[in-house]
Chains A and B, each alone.
Chain A
Amino acid sequence: MLQARQLYLQRLKEAQATYPNSAGYENHHLIPMYLGGAKDGQTYRLPTAYHKAITRAFREEWQYGQGRRPDPQALTDILVRVYSRYPVPQLIGISP
């Protein structure tokens, strides 16, 4: 847990440096809609810069809008990989 918290703070700092004009917060779908997440699915309020970094990480794993879909096992793998790099702060006891 401590490692995950440190990772979040490090990733947040990197994201804020990459997207310096991204103030405020945005809602993030735990399963992005382009990967089949429901519009009313679980969301988390994240700092905008961090949300942008997570979005980029997902699109590196599976490109947006390609007319192809990952099978359920591949989708699970993508989710695990992205969230192990970019923890959701609320899930590790941090208020964003």
Chain B
Amino acid sequence: MRETIEFRIAEERAQRFLEPGLGTLVNETLRKVVLPREDPRVQEIGAIERKLREQGSLFFTYWNIERRYSATELKSAELLNLIIRTSFEPTGAMCGTGYDESVACEYCGAGARQTTALILDTRRIAKSKDIAQTLAGEVVVSSRFVETFQKAGLRGAEFRPVMHGGGKELRASDWYQPVVTSKPLRLAAKMLAGNNPFDLDERGEHRCPKGHVAGLNQLSELYVERASHDGSDLFITDKLFGDRRGELRPEPRWLISPRLRDVLTAMNAKGHALEMAHVV
């Protein structure tokens, strides 16, 4: 696995702390730096970030960890993290989907119960995709995805029709909402979550005291407990990531079996990426 980490740093801070010529300009005030994870300059950036945070400032704003795998590595994975790359808005709640917020966690906002069919403006979903999610983390899949999933005899989800609510009346759409029926996969202790790659949120500001949210962001590959694996093909994690902020909600991570990976590959499904997940 090759892991790279991208930082976006205000140009004036980059000029002050980084070697000249490192990275590229995104615009006149923002520099993008991409480094292999093992590059010593990553730790230097971490040290600058920690120092500036102690002083009430910060070094980088944006960060992203990219993991690239060989075909052999992906082939050997027991489970895979299905990363949904296609996002859209408006969210379900903005289109009329009902939620019972009274059952949501008072600390992290997780667990609001969906009380109606998922209603979306389905014109906002890219037609070329097979999987996508709203900003609120409501996942939808194409009818092609559902047909292929069911034809292959895969297990772990039911699919409920998504209603199109972009006009005067609700009508059926070509999209479905997967409702996961498999047992949630328990995150293992090895899993890292936090605010950014150098801040594991030791103060617990973004960890739910009731245990619903593991942290603001997923930092490591997914690690899940073998004892919670029920042999299905589609899963979500037991704990969520993120926070309740405006339309954003804490979201689980999605995992798939190698069987479902093969099906997605064969149908040339669009809208996602895969990372290895570790069953421990």
Contact = CB atoms under 8 A, between A and B. Distances in A.
Given A36-B246, A38-B246, A81 B10 contact: yes
B243 interface: yes
A36 B245 contact: yes
A94 to B, nearest CB: 22
A37 to B, nearest CB: 5
B27 A69 contact: no
**From DSSP, what is the main secondary structure of chain B's interface residues?**
strand
Contacts of B242: 69
A15 to B, nearest CB: 13
Interface stretch (B14-22, B80-88, B160-168, B229-237): B80-88
Given A41-B246, A63-B62, A34 B87 contact: yes
A67 to B, nearest CB: 7
Contacts, number: 84
A32 B145 CA distance: 31
B195 A61 contact: no
B87 A71 contact: no
Contacts of A41: 246
A67 B216 CA distance: 10
Given A70-B62, A71-B216, A61 B247 contact: no
A60 B26 contact: yes
B269 interface: no
A85 interface: yes
Given A69-B242, A71-B195, A39 B62 contact: no
Interface in A22-66: 31, 33-34, 36-39, 41, 57, 60-66
> Which are the 8 A-B pairs with shortest beta-carbon distances?
A65-B87, A36-B245, A38-B246, A71-B195, A36-B246, A68-B217, A74-B61, A37-B246
Given A37-B246, A69-B243, 8 more contacts: A31-B246, A33-B135, A36-B243, A36-B245, A41-B246, A68-B218, A74-B196, A81-B61
16 contacts: A37-B246, A39-B91, A39-B94, A41-B246, A61-B30, A62-B8, A62-B62, A65-B88, A67-B84, A68-B63, A68-B218, A69-B216, A69-B217, A69-B243, A71-B195, A81-B10
Interface of B: 8, 10, 26-27, 29-30, 53, 58, 61-64, 83-91, 93-94, 133, 135, 195-196, 199, 206, 216-218, 241-243, 245-248, 251
